[in-house]
Amino acid sequence: MYKRFIPKVKTPQMAAKLAILVVVALLAACVAPQGSGSSGGQTASSGPTTIRISCWESGDALEPFQKSIDSFQKANPDIKVSLECIPQDYGTKLLAQLAAGTGPDIFQNGDGDVAKYVQQGAVQPLDDYINGKDGLDMNVFYPNVAKFGQVNGKTFYLTKDYSPLILFYNKKLFDDAKVPYPQDNWTWDDMVGIAQKLTDAGKQNWGFARFPGIADWQVEPWYLSNGAHIINEERTEWTLVGPEAEETLQFLIDLTKKSKVAPPPEAQSDLNLFVVGKGAIYSAGQWEIPGNRDAIKNFEWDVVAYPTGPKGHKPITHGGTYCMYAKTKVPDAAWKIQKWICGGKDWQANVYGASGYSIPSLKAVSKAAWLDPVEKQGKPPKHAQVVLDELDKAVPGSLWPNYQKIASIMGEEMQKVQLGDSTVADGLKNLKTRADAAIQEAIKK
């Protein structure tokens, strides 16, 4: 299943640093590719130019990749594409390649690591290519989607796909309780009131199938819709403190503590209560739609936008990207395949449009790819259009330096709050202290 990907790379201690150096040496000595752009490339006189592309997909998911690559090579016979698949430990292995100077010419990246690789000087600025002879009209993308690849006013990445957040709901449970379906203009209070009507402790039916995530990036729409922000615009300071942040976190905690419409911490498990018909609502990305289509056979379900908070409706979206290695020896050829992947209809429709797990970033492809299964094949959800509508209001989700380390810290501190081992105010203050230290650690590197 496709999800927004953030490569997980643990912060190394002294022993781990030695291990990584060993890995780098082995990679440089044993698997440094021959004939690739980053290791010298091939000129027209010696045969086709070889371009290396890395990705984290594997298995059957690679079939549409290869088909589109075949189409690209047919249209560009002077370029040969070598697809390198790294389904396990992608981030660690990519970092080792970059450290050894043997990075792929084009590599896939989650938007959580956009700033990191720019700071390391590992990616090539694209503005000269975008505005050059073989350029790319950036209006082919949704504006907020295109912003994923921009750092300090420059474009370093092209977005391949995006994933907004939505709420899923069980229509049968609503019908049984004679509760009207939620509408896209509903509010926080509406949501809690509806969830209370759908909660039946005796039957172990929950208004919320699972507690909304408060320990990762998916919590951001709740904070934004109450006027709180995770990080400043310069990405130098953690700002998730103060009355608005505390009020938001308390609202979410109260779904289990006060209104009791979500399973308490001790009752939460890996069992998907929504799929088995024991939960009425849950929040997630649209990437769960294909899985729900396959798994749910006993009731009808649909999707709706996040509710409007005290400071408005503030959805976010995240996406995946492709970038060009700063040390590639064949940048012109690399640009051609990068543009084919992110700005070409063939790859966008057949690789990302066909899967259903993400939405192609190319406007000309995304609508048909997303809505055809609903309108032409009769698949749920009926209101799939809401996913596209959210883009008109969505902002790119926050990204911050030392992303994975701070995400781990966030998980630790929010778990203490959820279990009652820390107050809301103390949990947010502790998170800020630790997050600020991690940000400065990354900035000083």
Domain containing 269: what range?
A: 164-317+397-443
Question: Do 367 and 412 fall into the same domain?
Answer: no
What is the β-pairing status of strands 395-396 and 316-324? parallel
Question: Do 156 and 228 fall into the same domain?
Answer: no
CA distance 288 to 212: 15
Coil/strand/helix, residue 66: helix
Provide the pLDDT for residue 45: 53
Question: Do 41 and 158 fall into the same domain?
Answer: yes
Question: Do 219 and 332 fall into the same domain?
Answer: no
428 neighbors 249 (Cβ within 8 angstroms): yes
Coil/strand/helix, residue 351: helix
Question: Do 282 and 366 fall into the same domain?
Answer: no
Number of residues assigned to the chain: 445
Question: Do 226 and 347 fall into the same domain?
Answer: no
Supply 371's token pair: 């809505």
Question: Do 70 and 98 fall into the same domain?
Answer: yes
Q: What is the mean pLDDT of each run of 10 residues along the chain (445 residues)?
A: 39 38 36 42 68 93 93 97 95 93 95 83 97 96 84 92 93 97 96 97 90 90 98 93 98 95 79 93 93 95 97 93 97 97 94 85 90 93 93 85 90 95 98 97 81
**Does some domain include residue 295?**
yes
Q: Residue 402 belongs to a domain with what CATH number? A: 3.40.190.10
Question: Do 279 and 419 fall into the same domain?
Answer: yes
**Does some domain include residue 434?**
yes
Question: Do 48 and 134 fall into the same domain?
Answer: yes
**Does some domain include residue 1?**
no
Provide the pLDDT for residue 110: 86
Question: Do 301 and 324 fall into the same domain?
Answer: no
Question: Do 189 and 267 fall into the same domain?
Answer: yes
Provide the pLDDT for residue 261: 96
269: burial class by Cβ within 10 Å (0-12, 13-18, 19+)? exposed
Question: Do 48 and 83 fall into the same domain?
Answer: yes
**Does some domain include residue 4?**
no
**Does some domain include residue 371?**
yes
Q: What angle do CA 91, 97, 99 make, to 5 degrees?
A: 100
367 neighbors 80 (Cβ within 8 angstroms): no
**Does some domain include residue 29?**
yes
243 neighbors 314 (Cβ within 8 angstroms): no
CA distance 414 to 81: 45
90 neighbors 8 (Cβ within 8 angstroms): no
Total domains present in the chain: 2
**Does some domain include residue 236?**
yes
| H-assigned helices in 307-389 | 331-343, 345-347, 363-375, 385-389
**Does some domain include residue 308?**
yes
